[in-house]
Amino acid sequence: MPRRFEQDEGPSEDDIRRFGGADSSLGYCPECGAEISDLADICPSCHSWIPEGAQRRHPLTSDMMRRWYAFIGICVLGVFLYLWLFRGGPG
HSE-up of residue 23 (Cα within 13 Å, Cβ side): 3
The residues spanned by each domain of the chain are: 21-56, 57-91
Rounded Cα–Cα distance for residues 34 and 83 (Å): 46
Q: What confidence score (pLDDT) does residue 1 get?
A: 56
Higher pLDDT, 42 or 14: 42
How do residues 43-88 score in pLDDT, each as one tens digit? 888 888 887 777 776 666 777 888 999 999 999 999 999 988 887 7
Q: What confidence score (pLDDT) does residue 76 get?
A: 96
Q: What confidence score (pLDDT) does residue 10 get?
A: 67
